[in-house]
Chains A and B, each alone.
Chain A
Amino acid sequence: MAQPAIGELLSMLDSPTLGVRDDVTAIFKESLSSDRSPMLVNTLVDYYLETNSQPALHILTTLQEPHDKHLLDKINEYVGKAATRLSILLLLGHVVRLQPSWKHKLSQAPLLPSLLKCLKVDTDVIVLTTGVLVLITMLPMIPQSGKQHLLDFFDIFGRLSSWCLKKPGHVTEIYLVHLHASVYALFHRLYGMYPCNFVSFLRSHYSMKENLETFEEVVKPMMEHVRIHPELVTGSKDHELDPRRWKRLETHDVVIECAKISLDPTEASYEDGYSVSHQLSARFPHRPADITTSPYVDTQNSYGSTTSAPYSASRLMLFSTPGQLPQNLSSPSTRLLTEPLQATLWSPSMICGMTTPPTSPGNVPPDLLHPYSKVFGTAGGKGTPLGTPATSPPPVPLCHPDDCVHNSVSQAIATPPRKEERTDLARPCLHRQHHLPNDRGLEELPGNKGSVTLSDLPGFLGDLASEEDSIEKDKEEAAISKELSEITTSEADPVVPRGGFDSPFYRDSLPGSQRKTHSATSGTQGSSVNPEPLHSSLDKRGPDTPKQAFTPIDPPSGGADASSAGDRDRQTSLETSILTPSPCKIPLQRGVGFGSGQPPPYDHLFEVALPKTARHFVSKKTQELLKKVKGSPEEDYVPSTSPMEVLDRLIQQGADAHSKELSKLSLPSKSVDWTHFGGSPPSDEIRTLRDQLLLLHNQLLYERFKRQQHALRNRRLLRKVIRAAALEEHNAAMKDQLKLQEKDIQMWKVSLQKEQARYSQLQEQRDTMVTQLHSQIKQLQHDREEFYNQSQELQTKLEDCRSMITELRLELKKANNKVCHTELLLSQVSQKLSNSESVQQQMEFLNRQLLVLGEVNELYLEQLQNKHSDTTKEVEMMKTAYRKELEKNRSHLLQQNQRLDTSQKRILELESLLAKKDHLLLEQKKYLEDVKSQASGQLLASESRYEAQRKITQVFELEILDLYGRLEKDGLLRKVEGEKAEAAAAVAEDRLDCCNDGCSDSLVGHNDEASGHNGEAKTPKAYSSTRSSCGGRGAGGGNSSSELSTPEKPPNQRFSSRWETTIGEPSTSIPTTVGSLPSSKSFLGMKARELFRNKSESQCDEDGLTISSLSETLKTELGKDLGVEAKIPLNLDGPHPSPPNPDSVGQLRIMDYNEAHHEHS
């Protein structure tokens, strides 16, 4: 955007058309948001400084983040220049008051030090005042960062406070008032924010002598308007500079914090009570109006009746005729009016001029929400001794209209006496106190919800009227009625100024001051500086308002509307206005009232209530004030009055004067007016006025800023209250639920009880049943037992009977037995009888025999005596014979015994011998066994040997036969040769024929015998040798003998063996060789021949028998010979078994012969 374009736009900014202005503003904002260069801002600032253009200001104040630095730089730049300092400070004030989002940067900006520097060095009061106000505005925004400039702040404070007194240069008094007010504000701010540091600063700074005066004159009065800061007790220098402390607090919090410690009603804030009352009115717009009637009436009436003071009247007038307010602007009574309007900071203690902390009306409003009983308790607890308890009754009825009306009434009645008893001073306080909530309640209702409450007001007031009867006295009633009639006449007045008031209000650029002036113009006759007429008018007017209020019919609806509108205006305007009178004025006013010689009806009450000193004080103040008001309000002020107050008054007076001048002169020639005050020279009158205006504007802006802070806080608190209310509601709902549940529980309990009762009843029934049944059972059991007993008895009886029967039976048996026995006895007896009879007979017989025998005995005795002598000799002979015989036998016995002994001994000996023999025998047997086994072992060995021998022999024979076989084959070949020797062979055959026969026989027999004999008698060796020697022959002989012994048998059968097949032929073929052998053994041959001959003979004769007999005979004869004979051949054969050929040949030959013989035979 080009420069000229900007210039054009800037010029267009102030164009009269709204649309263009808006467009341009939009363009600027757009370019600001797009462009980050400081150029535009600088241009704007310059433009604003040049033209003081509102749209430019608007744009500048709403600058966004990136441009803040440029702006601040620019401002800083201009602050340095003395020419532009004021305007730039104004701009800064505007900017700061709007609390831009970058406000925290203020502390870091170079602007702050330069501002402080400016405040320290500048001498222009206007600049100083403006700067101080800006600084005060800034302080809560930068609480923690401002600490490094703390000393600067304090220095500034010190400088300016001294300024207030010393008036360096030619500063106008009027300016000083402003300066003082701002210093006062600074004091408050610094004390509120940094109490410890500040106090220490004060201590150090004013301990110096040169500053002592300043302290006495300026600072000390200021300190009267603050209470002890709690931080002074709990905090420390460091702690209050701690950023943590400030972090939690927002700007408005800081402001309120500062306001809290103020005792100055214009400054102080009782935000708690305030906010709650707000809330109250917001929540119960209708009800309070109706409900609070009775207490109001009560207090009102009592007030009105007892006092009917203009004060009360004027107050009542408040809600009905706010429009009339400007009329009383200059009069103290108006301050009474404005005071409650301002912030309900009215306190009886202030009335009394006491510096005790104000009774906290803030405590009351929360109680309004609570039921009466609670409130009562809390009210008592919270109430300050001065009369807060009394404040509690009014809120009570708010919640419980019906009950609390009377309660509150009684309370209201009851409390005053109580207060009276306590202190006289408390009494008026009490009345005021009562009044206070009323006022506030009524005020605020119109203030916030004006339209509603105001419409209700007539009804409410009517109620008041209706109820007042019961309490008021007749006299008071009459007074009121009289007043009402009076008011009707002047009723037109309030309406007129209202209209006049409205119009100029909109016209003025500076509403506060302008309006005042307008109201002043529209004001009635009270234009004079003299308060007397004001009072009179006030006295007249006071009743006016009640009248209007008490007669709802009278005021027109339009009037009511108008009043409400006016009220609203007043509310806004007054609250923001600088017209903040200190409560201290109230007694003064009253004093004025008293002093005016028109004692109000409650005057006597004050007489009683206020102590002498107080009254004196009041009167004195009044005098002073009068003087001040009349003369020069700016020249001096009572130290106890707040600078604000003074400023206030100044403005009012100035406004009055101005209006007067205006009424007098159509043209604003103010120099004339101000000369009347005797202030500054008329030449710079206008400039002064302008400056003053500026200052006032500044002040106004500052106050507005404060108001905004309050509003902010209010909103927040309201939110909290709403939340609390919601919780409350919720609680109530919960309680209801709880109640319902409790009811339920109750019901359940009741039903439970019922059930229990029923249950117990049933139980009882059951019990009774059970007991009944038990008793029945018992009875039955009893019966049963009885029956049982009976049956037992019967059984016993039965048994008795049975036993009796058995007994009887037994007896019967016994009797039977007895009978039988007796019968038996009888038979026995009869038998015995017969026996005895027979015995008697025998006895008789025996007796007879006895007799006979006796006779015989006698006979024999006689015979015996005759024969006794012959027998004795014979007996003796026999005896001796017997004795001899006995002796003989005895000796014989002895002999026998001896013999027996010996024989027994012998038997023993023999037995032992026998045992020995047995043992021996056993041993022998054992030995024999042993030997036997040994022998058998040997025998076995020898047998095996024998077997082996046999086998050997067999092998040999086999071999021999084999050889023979071979020989025969050879022999066939040599047959021719053999025929030659045939003749010789035949001769030999004949010769040996018989010989061989016999020999072979004998041999066989001999062999048999020998074998049989040798087996038993001969030693094994001999035996074996014979065996072995004879074996060869025996084999052959065996065959031949068997053949010989059984000649009947067919010979071919015998020789079916393989031996014969091979041997048969050769045996026949070699007879010659055999025949030669026996010749060598001539003796044997001879014998054999003999034997064989015999044998053959006997054989022919007697067969086998002869042979056996022959052998037997031979045995005996040739027993020994044979042994010898046998040995010889044995000796021949035994040692030479290998050449048995000749022998075997001989044998074979014999055998052969036998064969031949057999064949022949």
Chain B
Amino acid sequence: MSEDSQRNFRSVYYEKVGFRGVEEKKSLEILLKDDRLDIEKLCTFSQRFPLPSMYRALVWKVLLGILPPHHESHAQVMTYRKDQYSDILHALKVVRFISDTTPQVEVYLRMYQLECGKLPRSPSFPLEPDDEVFLAIAKAMEEMVEDSVDCYWIIRCFVGQLNTKHRDSLPQLPKAFEQYLNVEDSRLLSHLKTCSAMSRLPYDLWFKRCFAGCLPESSLQRVWDKVVSGSCKILVFVAVEILLTFKIKVMALNSAEKITKFLENIPQDSSDAIVSKAIDLWHKHCGTPVHSA
């Protein structure tokens, strides 16, 4: 009740009139004020509303488990994280895996490899597909998060989450995608099927890389808000929405190669709208996540 009283009484009307996110910042602040952060609430919040960019890093860190729920230990834990980062960085430098000239993304990759014990014998060894995924995500994340320690940690945990938490659900996404596309636009689906493009759609780009490199970071972070908060289904709807948005162009294309090529390099200008629509679509199909608290 105290939370509600602190909230602006106009919030209800703001939402009704269509101003979204006016009150979200405040409510998020309220959430973050809790000493022991309620992770579930934060999850629900980030699923329902877009996160304000100033709190995004914090929330992500909390959600990804980089920071503990207690404020007290934040500083200490953060120093640990920093130490760890610097240690690994140092070690890598020592073993001369990286140098000062090594791109930051590769640094992150090597660090991650090191932490996973997968560091190859030599930096010149060819990268594995998983490493490519990591690189893409890291590249996107690098744009989003300024601090490199935070960035590394977030990337690390994000990828870790994808590999652990969503390991089982990710392979199911193409099927779900087909299903929702059928619901939304069966003609398009049939067109894709006739072009036999369904199997050749850029699923890796969409679901493994979580659209990293496909969408601009400004809109991508909104998608990742949802992914971080535990829902990888949003990826399906983003994919569906991309197809719906570029339906005319896709319909005009007849060969699977062209379609795939087009989808891999979609125009960036309408990405914001795509994401907004995709979120709406997601809410529509999966229901708005209820504040469980």
Residues on A close to B: CB < 8 A? 930, 933-934, 937-938, 940-942, 944-945, 947-949, 951-952, 954-956, 958-959
* CB <8 Å contact, A930 and B87: no
Of the residues B70, B77, B84, B91, contact of A956 by C-beta under 8 Å:
B91
- State how many angstroms separate the Cβ of B149 from the closest Cβ of chain A: 13
CB<8 Å pairs between A and B, sample of 20: A933-B69, A934-B73, A938-B73, A938-B80, A941-B77, A941-B84, A945-B80, A945-B84, A948-B88, A949-B87, A952-B88, A952-B90, A952-B91, A955-B91, A955-B92, A955-B95, A955-B119, A956-B91, A956-B95, A959-B94
- State how many angstroms separate the Cβ of A939 from the closest Cβ of chain B: 10
* CB <8 Å contact, B87 and A952: yes
Given A930-B36, A934-B72, A941-B80, A954-B88 contact (CB < 8 Å):
no
- State how many angstroms separate the Cβ of A658 from the closest Cβ of chain B: 140
* CB <8 Å contact, A955 and B84: no
Chain A neighbourhood of B65, CB < 8 A? 940
**Top 3 closest A-B pairs, CB basis?**
A937-B68, A952-B91, A941-B80
Chain B neighbourhood of A959, CB < 8 A? 94-95
* CB <8 Å contact, A945 and B87: yes
* CB <8 Å contact, A937 and B73: yes
B111, closest chain A residue (CB): A948
Given A948-B88, A952-B87, A938-B115 contact (CB < 8 Å):
no
Q: Say yes or no: is B265 at the interface (Cβ < 8 Å to chain A).
A: no
Complex Cα spacing A176 to B52, Å:
155
Interface residues of B in 26-70 (CB under 8 A from A): 36, 65, 68-70
Chain A neighbourhood of B15, CB < 8 A? none
- State how many angstroms separate the Cβ of A816 from the closest Cβ of chain B: 87
Size of the B side of the interface (Cβ < 8 Å), in residues, is 24
Chain A neighbourhood of B84, CB < 8 A? 941, 944-945, 948-949
Of the residues A938, A945, A958, contact of B83 by C-beta under 8 Å:
A945
* CB <8 Å contact, A937 and B69: yes
Interface residues of B in 64-108 (CB under 8 A from A): 65, 68-70, 72-73, 76-77, 80-81, 83-84, 87-88, 90-92, 94-95
Complex Cα spacing A949 to B73, Å:
21
- State how many angstroms separate the Cβ of A1059 from the closest Cβ of chain B: 15
Q: Say yes or no: is B117 at the interface (Cβ < 8 Å to chain A).
A: yes
Q: Say yes or no: is B114 at the interface (Cβ < 8 Å to chain A).
A: yes
* CB <8 Å contact, A930 and B115: no
Of the residues A937, A940, A947, A956, contact of B115 by C-beta under 8 Å:
A947
- State how many angstroms separate the Cβ of B192 from the closest Cβ of chain A: 44
Chain B neighbourhood of A952, CB < 8 A? 87-88, 90-91, 114
Complex Cα spacing A951 to B87, Å:
10
Complex Cα spacing A1079 to B87, Å:
33
Given A938-B80, A951-B114, A954-B117, A933-B94 contact (CB < 8 Å):
no
* CB <8 Å contact, A933 and B68: yes
* CB <8 Å contact, B94 and A956: yes
Chain B neighbourhood of A930, CB < 8 A? 36, 70
For the residues of B in contact with A, the DSSP-based class is helix
B36, closest chain A residue (CB): A930
What would 8 more interface pairs be, CB under 8 Å, given A934-B73, A948-B84, A959-B94?
Answer: A937-B77, A938-B73, A941-B76, A945-B81, A951-B91, A952-B114, A955-B92, A955-B119
- State how many angstroms separate the Cβ of A931 from the closest Cβ of chain B: 9
- State how many angstroms separate the Cβ of A639 from the closest Cβ of chain B: 133
- State how many angstroms separate the Cβ of A970 from the closest Cβ of chain B: 19
- State how many angstroms separate the Cβ of A290 from the closest Cβ of chain B: 119
Of the residues B70, B87, B90, B115, contact of A933 by C-beta under 8 Å:
B70
Complex Cα spacing A111 to B284, Å:
122
B95, closest chain A residue (CB): A959
Chain A neighbourhood of B114, CB < 8 A? 948, 951-952, 955
Complex Cα spacing A274 to B149, Å:
156
Given A938-B76, A942-B80, A951-B115 contact (CB < 8 Å):
yes
Of the residues B70, B90, B92, contact of A937 by C-beta under 8 Å:
B70
- State how many angstroms separate the Cβ of A941 from the closest Cβ of chain B: 4
- State how many angstroms separate the Cβ of A216 from the closest Cβ of chain B: 132
Chain A neighbourhood of B95, CB < 8 A? 955-956, 958-959
Given A938-B76, A956-B94, A948-B87 contact (CB < 8 Å):
yes
B70, closest chain A residue (CB): A934
Complex Cα spacing A937 to B70, Å:
9
- State how many angstroms separate the Cβ of B167 from the closest Cβ of chain A: 20
Complex Cα spacing A942 to B83, Å:
10
B116, closest chain A residue (CB): A951
Complex Cα spacing A481 to B115, Å:
189
- State how many angstroms separate the Cβ of B218 from the closest Cβ of chain A: 31
- State how many angstroms separate the Cβ of B117 from the closest Cβ of chain A: 6
Chain A neighbourhood of B68, CB < 8 A? 933-934, 937-938, 940-941
Complex Cα spacing A299 to B218, Å:
152
- State how many angstroms separate the Cβ of A2 from the closest Cβ of chain B: 116
Complex Cα spacing A941 to B90, Å:
18
Complex Cα spacing A384 to B91, Å:
170
* CB <8 Å contact, B77 and A938: yes
B66, closest chain A residue (CB): A941
Complex Cα spacing A954 to B114, Å:
9
Complex Cα spacing A682 to B73, Å:
193
Complex Cα spacing A26 to B81, Å:
160
- B148-187 vs A, CB cutoff 8 Å, 1 = contact: the mask equals 0000000000000000000000000000000000000000
- State how many angstroms separate the Cβ of B157 from the closest Cβ of chain A: 10
Chain B neighbourhood of A954, CB < 8 A? 117
- State how many angstroms separate the Cβ of B95 from the closest Cβ of chain A: 5
Complex Cα spacing A951 to B95, Å:
12
- State how many angstroms separate the Cβ of A399 from the closest Cβ of chain B: 110
* CB <8 Å contact, A941 and B81: yes
Chain A neighbourhood of B81, CB < 8 A? 941, 945
- State how many angstroms separate the Cβ of A1058 from the closest Cβ of chain B: 12
- State how many angstroms separate the Cβ of A926 from the closest Cβ of chain B: 11
A937, closest chain B residue (CB): B68
Chain B neighbourhood of A947, CB < 8 A? 115
- State how many angstroms separate the Cβ of B124 from the closest Cβ of chain A: 15
B77, closest chain A residue (CB): A941
Among B68, B76, B119, the one with the most A-chain Cβ atoms within 10 Å of its Cβ is B68
A952, closest chain B residue (CB): B91
- State how many angstroms separate the Cβ of A138 from the closest Cβ of chain B: 111
Complex Cα spacing A945 to B73, Å:
15
B88, closest chain A residue (CB): A948
Complex Cα spacing A945 to B84, Å:
5
Complex Cα spacing A123 to B92, Å:
179
- State how many angstroms separate the Cβ of A784 from the closest Cβ of chain B: 84
Chain B neighbourhood of A937, CB < 8 A? 68-70, 73, 77
- State how many angstroms separate the Cβ of A961 from the closest Cβ of chain B: 12
- State how many angstroms separate the Cβ of B146 from the closest Cβ of chain A: 21
Chain B neighbourhood of A949, CB < 8 A? 84, 87
A944, closest chain B residue (CB): B84
Complex Cα spacing A92 to B77, Å:
163
Chain B neighbourhood of A933, CB < 8 A? 36, 68-70
Complex Cα spacing A944 to B69, Å:
17
- State how many angstroms separate the Cβ of A246 from the closest Cβ of chain B: 101
B76, closest chain A residue (CB): A938
Chain A neighbourhood of B91, CB < 8 A? 951-952, 955-956
* CB <8 Å contact, A948 and B70: no
Complex Cα spacing A949 to B114, Å:
10
- State how many angstroms separate the Cβ of B152 from the closest Cβ of chain A: 11
Chain A neighbourhood of B87, CB < 8 A? 945, 948-949, 952
Chain B neighbourhood of A955, CB < 8 A? 91-92, 95, 114, 119
Chain B neighbourhood of A942, CB < 8 A? 80
Complex Cα spacing A668 to B56, Å:
175
Complex Cα spacing A945 to B82, Å:
9
Complex Cα spacing A958 to B96, Å:
12
Among B65, B73, B83, B88, the one with the most A-chain Cβ atoms within 10 Å of its Cβ is B73
Chain B neighbourhood of A948, CB < 8 A? 84, 87-88, 114-115
A936, closest chain B residue (CB): B68
- State how many angstroms separate the Cβ of A929 from the closest Cβ of chain B: 10
